[in-house]
Structure 1
Amino acid sequence: VVDDAIVMVENVERHLHEGKSPLQAALDAARELVGPIIAMTITLAAVYTPVAIQGGLTGSLFREFAFTLAGAVIVSGVVALTLSPMMGSKLLRAGDTERGFAGFVNRRFESIRSTYTRLLSGTLKYRPVVLTLWVIVMLLIVPFYLFSQKELAPAEDQGVVFGIVQAAANSTLDQTKLFGNEIYKVFQSFPETDATFQIVFPSGGFAGMVVKPWSERKKSSAELQVEVSAKLSQIAGVRVIPLTPPALPGGGGGLPVDFVIASTAEPQQVVAIANQVVQKAFASGLFMFADTDIKFDQPQAEVVFDRDKLRSEGVDLAQAGRDLSTLLGGNFVNRFSIQGRSYKVIPQVKRSERLTPDQLKDVYVTGAGGKLVPLSTFATLRTTTEPRELKRFQQLNAVRIQGAIPPGVSLDQALRFLEGEARKILPQGYTVDYSGESRQLRTEGGKFLATFLLSAILIYLVLAAQFESFRDPFIILAGSVPLALAGALLFSFLGFTSLNVYSQVGLITLVGLVAKNGILIVQFANHLQETGLGKLGAVVEAATTRLRPILMTTAATVVGHLPLVFAHGPGAGARNSIGIMLVSGMIIGTMFTLFVVPSIYVLVARTHRAGTAVDAEEREPEALADVTPAPV
């Protein structure tokens, strides 16, 4: 929000150096910058419009951020056009910046400006080389983007490590509790543990360890997750899957990898295909754990009656069924009251006598004349294995491959591996989909390009209306935005950060910030052409004159975001992502913009004469020797 005021105050100072009075310098500076500041303000406000109106997780996270920042930018533009020149006329005086530290800075900047003028004049002599380099850098955006790690959000240390406990399908509560004690001992063996918790049920459970505050430990929760996994894997009888909670809400609350294979085929066939993918996943080394959510491991015992023996024993089939239901079902049949309290009557065989299917043979049922008949005299047991549950996804038989990934492996990398193996293994008629956090990654990641394109179109249309030209917005955006994006994506390509919802918003913000540099150069070059300068001379003088505000606004943005780059602690991942994108993009984008925008301007811009713009059908050669720097 300080960029517009920086540009205005610097321009007032420049007019003061030309010998004008403070009031006249403020008036001339304000008149000169009305157009550029309005264009810069609307551009930065418009870039957030797609972010503010989009749905999904990104919209929910950044809607207030977008509206707040857009409003603040508009207010800062109004302040820069009103309050800043007024204060400049009262507080600035000619000669104040020639003495002391301010004078030292000005003399150093004069040296920088002279060097820049020589370099710019030299690059304009070799415009084809500059434009070729511009095209190469733009093309590098594609591999930088494609080969950057992608994730929904950077991992955050939330101070807890969860453990999903999986037991055998026929486990009892007593068995699982025994293993739960072993899990408790593992969690307590770490000095970083502050508290533990467990929820146990027969077929599994949920456990976790709450670690000490960040300042009281040396290991992150991700490091503890790996160490906990090694110890928990030594517990025989149960499988414990350690994981840390997702950085953003709404991810399903389960394992990060949630890959769905669906088909109209029978569940057994779908499970067999999914197990092949799981084997490939384990062999890849990208997964700490991977498994399917459907398993054919639930033992089932079925009582088969021999009707001939049933009749010979005089047992009624319906009565035998009712007796078994009463003895084994656990349903209450009546109530009785003692001392004003009502209690359920639940007839059931003792637990010690119904632990295994073979014990059913010792059960007696009612026979003829009320006699008790052993079940084993007319019935046999047939055991089968059934799935614990059958699931459907989009009305198809489906199997979910769920997994956990170690630190250093991104969720996008794991999903791309599964997608590649699925293409090789899945027969025709099978489809893949996603659930939980994996679905959000694929959904939100696919929205970025559309949001970015809409932001660029909005900025282009706003600038076209402001400049009353379709060429000038092209010069501004083409000469600055692709170069800044390439600079920012270079650091995600090198692994300093990843492409996530935070870095994507940083890239969109970068478009509005770096476009300001091109606006300052192009608008002033057009103005200088109208005063009689040729196109080449105008763009050199415009770039030289606007060098100082461009460097000042860039320095303000970079320094303001440096704390985000160097942030550390439990929640530093998100701040690092957006900081790295903005700082690297602004530095690299500004350096390129100062040389590329003038070259594109000479090639594309119209020739302006006294308030009119005509196409330059014939470009007269202009000598760079005639170009003189703007007065200081």
Structure 2
Amino acid sequence: FGLRKNQNTFKGSRLTGIGFSLVDKIMSLVGLATRNWMTRIATVTVLTIFSISLAVFLIPKMEYLPQGNRNFVFSIMVPPPGLSYKERKEIGQDIFHSVNPYIDKDYKGLPAIKEIFYVGADRFMFVGTMSKHEQRAGELLPLLSKTINSIPGIFGVTNQAGIFQTRTGGGRTIDVDVSAQDLNTIVRVAGTMFGMIRREIPGAQVRPVPSIELLYPEINIIPERDRLRAAEMSSSDLGIQLDVLLDGRKVGDFKQKGQKKVDLVLKASDKDFSTPEELYNALIATSKGKIVPISSFARLERSTGVTQIRHLERQRTISLQVTPPKTISLEEAMDVIRDKLVPLLKTKGMLQGVNIKLSGEADKLTQTRGAIQWNFILAAVIIYLLMSGLFGNFIYPLVVLFTLPFAAVGGFVGLKLMNIFIQPQPLDVLTMLGFVILIGVVVNNAILIVYQALNNIRNYGMEYREAILESTRTRLRPIYMSTFTSIFGMLPLVVVPGPGSEIYRGLGSVILGGLAISSIFVIFIIPSLLMFFIRMEKIGSAK
């Protein structure tokens, strides 16, 4: 027992000796950095320029929210106009036949399909699948995409649903809204933008809403204004009567006590008209009380158009829903569209009377980024005011806050190491929250050094440089003890995989990197910077 105790004592003393030796080496570097005003300026300048340059080099493009690994892969297809029910049913049967070998069993290295369904509507078709292996659902993307693209005349996009996705076709998308008054101009510009996006962002999925092809048959009833004027009617009067004959028009409402209000709608019977010609020859009443056919006041024209007319800010709009590949961030794709493609269309003279706006997740990303930046500034201001009250001084809190840029650099370093050695992790909104959290964490180390230095001067009568060096020496152990316990405590958040780890992994890597890097820089930056301002303190008498 005595021999074992002596061995443990020897090991402990050896580790203690290594610790003291390491402290001496660190303090020799700190002493060199604070030797005179030139070394202090050089230390602060070099480390600041180095950190800013590293941050500019490492800062990645942003995402909005983590995609996660949701067990749902879907395809949205745009069919050609005029497909019958039988043809839509046959398309669904072909899809089921193509993926049949993968249902309920692994096949050719791909996970088994647990569930699959198909919706064949007039204007769009939808296929959704779920895998038996929840973590491998994304591997079904190439299979479903190849199956959809092999169908003649069908255009479709295939994506994996995100964990925060709330609508079909939403998720990690950029909505490029092309608006104008003339529909033909919108279709031409949207079609050109469609091709440019697919060329400049390889692998991007682009879905037009509605279709960018004027292939869908439609009937236009064009008012003859002279004939309407002779009958003392206007185009609006004719439009109201057509509303009554087709979809119906609200003429009032009815409400019983204690019940909801019910709209009263005037509408013709659906059995009255089965063809455009029957509608064109339908009888209507004029303001003079005469009964005449619609053909007396308008002409019938057949043409083609889009499936629906969408409006944005009272202008006709076609939206291109762009989903970038995983290798390209949302912000990077936004920059390509906004800074490269839109100016290119302007130089070609195609945007006269046309407005292009980025919305959807792109708009949310811009708004959220601005909100987080203001939250970052607000947190720094609150901490500054709090420290000003505690220190009784407005200068020392600025010295403490000077460590924040180095923590930010550490956050980017941690995120970069995460991408290299563990798993790709974008800079999304949840990851950005890590930088806000760092504000309240990394200032603690600087506070320890500043407070103890002031204590050494006021209560122990030490000379300024001696007080700062002694403060740094005595605070090395608590600084690195708290840093290492925090790092190893949060390390499982970063290195341990599992369902949902995409949500908190980026946050953890930013905090770990910020803590690690700031704990290194703070030992040299704070003493060097504090030497310029601490001389305002009056040296007290030693107790």
Q: TM-score w.r.t. structure 2 length? A: 0.75
1:162 matched to 2:90? The reply is: no
Q: Contact conserved, 1:140 with 1:486, CA < 8 A, in 2? A: no
Which shifted more, 512-521 or 159-168?
A: 159-168
SS in 1 for 2:436: helix
Match of 1:106 among 12, 16, 19: 16
- 1:511 counterpart residue number: 439
Give CA deviations for 1:253-289 in whole Å, capped at 9, x if unaligned: 5263232435454232233222222211011143432
Instruction: From the superposition, tell whether residues 384 and 253 of structure 1 become closer, same or farther in structure 2 (CA, over 3 Å).
Output: closer
1:135-150 equivalence runs, <5 A: 135-140=48-53, 143-144=56-57, 147-150=59-62
SS in 2 for 1:603: coil
- 1:414 counterpart residue number: 333
Give CA deviations for 1:426-467 in whole Å, capped at 9, x if unaligned: 436544434333332222122221111111111111111111
- One-letter code of the match for 2:126? F
Match of 2:311 among 382, 392, 401: 392
- 1:528 counterpart residue number: 456
Mapped to 1, the partners of 2:516 and 2:124 lie a distance apart of 53
**Once the 2 structures are TM-superposed, how far is the Cα of residue 249 of structure 1 from its aligned partner?**
4.6
Which shifted more, 494-503 or 528-537?
A: 494-503
Match of 2:43 among 120, 126, 130: 130
Instruction: From the superposition, tell whether residues 611 and 225 of structure 1 become closer, same or farther in structure 2 (CA, over 3 Å).
Output: farther
1:560-571 equivalence runs, <5 A: 560-571=489-500
Mapped to 1, the partners of 2:328 and 2:139 lie a distance apart of 13
SS in 1 for 2:325: coil
1:173 matched to 2:85? The reply is: yes
Give CA deviations for 1:506-532 in whole Å, capped at 9, x if unaligned: 111112111110000000011111121
Q: Contact conserved, 2:190 with 2:320, CA < 8 A, in 1? A: yes
Mapped to 1, the partners of 2:533 and 2:539 lie a distance apart of 19
Mapped to 1, the partners of 2:198 and 2:120 lie a distance apart of 28
Give CA deviations for 1:352-377 in whole Å, capped at 9, x if unaligned: xx9xx9xx89xx99xxxxxxxxxxxx
1:497 matched to 2:415? The reply is: no
**Once the 2 structures are TM-superposed, how far is the Cα of residue 419 of structure 1 from its aligned partner?**
1.0
SS in 2 for 1:474: helix
Q: Contact conserved, 2:178 with 2:189, CA < 8 A, in 1? A: no
SS in 2 for 1:290: strand
Match of 2:537 among 585, 596, 608: 608
Give CA deviations for 1:122-155 in whole Å, capped at 9, x if unaligned: 222322321121320343366247x512101222
Q: Contact conserved, 1:144 with 1:493, CA < 8 A, in 2? A: no
1:297 matched to 2:221? The reply is: no
Give CA deviations for 1:22-67 in whole Å, capped at 9, x if unaligned: xxxxxxxxxxxxxxxxxxxxxxxxxxxxxxxxxxxxxxxxxxxxxx
- One-letter code of the match for 1:455? A
Instruction: From the superposition, tell whether residues 222 and 415 of structure 1 become closer, same or farther in structure 2 (CA, over 3 Å).
Output: farther
Match of 1:553 among 482, 491, 502: 482
Q: Contact conserved, 1:297 with 1:387, CA < 8 A, in 2? A: yes
Match of 1:240 among 132, 153, 156: 156
- One-letter code of the match for 1:410? S
- 1:541 counterpart residue number: 470
**Once the 2 structures are TM-superposed, how far is the Cα of residue 103 of structure 1 from its aligned partner?**
5.0
Mapped to 1, the partners of 2:185 and 2:508 lie a distance apart of 48
Give CA deviations for 1:155-177 in whole Å, capped at 9, x if unaligned: 21011101112212322222112
Mapped to 2, the partners of 1:186 and 1:469 lie a distance apart of 74
Q: Alignment length, in residue pairs?
A: 456
Give CA deviations for 1:451-489 in whole Å, capped at 9, x if unaligned: 1111111111111111111111111110x2111111212
Mapped to 2, the partners of 1:168 and 1:439 lie a distance apart of 31
- One-letter code of the match for 2:480? L
Instruction: From the superposition, tell whether residues 460 and 250 of structure 1 become closer, same or farther in structure 2 (CA, over 3 Å).
Output: farther
Q: Contact conserved, 1:529 with 1:609, CA < 8 A, in 2? A: yes
Q: Contact conserved, 2:494 with 2:505, CA < 8 A, in 1? A: yes
**Once the 2 structures are TM-superposed, how far is the Cα of residue 178 of structure 1 from its aligned partner?**
1.2
1:199 matched to 2:123? The reply is: no
Task: Give structure 1 stretches of 5+ with no counterpart.
Answer: 1-97, 305-324, 332-344, 366-379, 613-632
**Once the 2 structures are TM-superposed, how far is the Cα of residue 565 of structure 1 from its aligned partner?**
1.2
Mapped to 1, the partners of 2:469 and 2:34 lie a distance apart of 9
Instruction: From the superposition, tell whether residues 120 and 303 of structure 1 become closer, same or farther in structure 2 (CA, over 3 Å).
Output: closer
- One-letter code of the match for 2:208? T
Q: Contact conserved, 1:488 with 1:584, CA < 8 A, in 2? A: yes
Mapped to 2, the partners of 1:553 and 1:602 lie a distance apart of 25
Instruction: From the superposition, tell whether residues 423 and 207 of structure 1 become closer, same or farther in structure 2 (CA, over 3 Å).
Output: same
- One-letter code of the match for 1:176? R
- 1:120 counterpart residue number: 30
Give CA deviations for 1:209-242 in whole Å, capped at 9, x if unaligned: 1112346xxxx33343234213321122323321
Mapped to 2, the partners of 1:429 and 1:109 lie a distance apart of 72
- 1:286 counterpart residue number: 202
Mapped to 1, the partners of 2:168 and 2:91 lie a distance apart of 27
Instruction: From the superposition, tell whether residues 396 and 137 of structure 1 become closer, same or farther in structure 2 (CA, over 3 Å).
Output: farther
Match of 2:408 among 471, 477, 485: 485
Mapped to 2, the partners of 1:348 and 1:239 lie a distance apart of 36
Which shifted more, 573-582 or 98-107?
A: 98-107
Q: TM-score w.r.t. structure 1 length? A: 0.65
Q: Contact conserved, 1:120 with 1:595, CA < 8 A, in 2? A: yes
Task: Give structure 2 stretches of 5+ with no counterpart.
Answer: 1-7, 223-241, 249-268, 283-298
- 1:222 counterpart residue number: 138
Instruction: From the superposition, tell whether residues 436 and 247 of structure 1 become closer, same or farther in structure 2 (CA, over 3 Å).
Output: farther
- One-letter code of the match for 1:419? R
Mapped to 1, the partners of 2:115 and 2:77 lie a distance apart of 18
- 2:381 counterpart residue number: 457
Match of 2:398 among 445, 462, 474: 474
Mapped to 2, the partners of 1:596 and 1:517 lie a distance apart of 12
**Once the 2 structures are TM-superposed, how far is the Cα of residue 607 of structure 1 from its aligned partner?**
3.6
- RMSD of aligned C-alpha atoms? 3.6
Q: Which has the larger radius of gyration?
A: 1
Mapped to 2, the partners of 1:292 and 1:195 lie a distance apart of 28
Give CA deviations for 1:99-138 in whole Å, capped at 9, x if unaligned: 4766554333222212211221122232232112132034
Instruction: From the superposition, tell whether residues 558 and 303 of structure 1 become closer, same or farther in structure 2 (CA, over 3 Å).
Output: closer
1:269 matched to 2:189? The reply is: no
Instruction: From the superposition, tell whether residues 272 and 446 of structure 1 become closer, same or farther in structure 2 (CA, over 3 Å).
Output: farther
**Once the 2 structures are TM-superposed, how far is the Cα of residue 186 of structure 1 from its aligned partner?**
4.0
Give CA deviations for 1:376-419 in whole Å, capped at 9, x if unaligned: xxxx9953102211111133332211122222222222222111
Q: Percent identity?
A: 22
**Once the 2 structures are TM-superposed, how far is the Cα of residue 349 of structure 1 from its aligned partner?**
11
Mapped to 2, the partners of 1:408 and 1:503 lie a distance apart of 18
Q: Contact conserved, 1:246 with 1:253, CA < 8 A, in 2? A: no
Q: Contact conserved, 1:186 with 1:232, CA < 8 A, in 2? A: no
Give CA deviations for 1:609-632 in whole Å, capped at 9, x if unaligned: 2569xxxxxxxxxxxxxxxxxxxx
- One-letter code of the match for 1:384? S
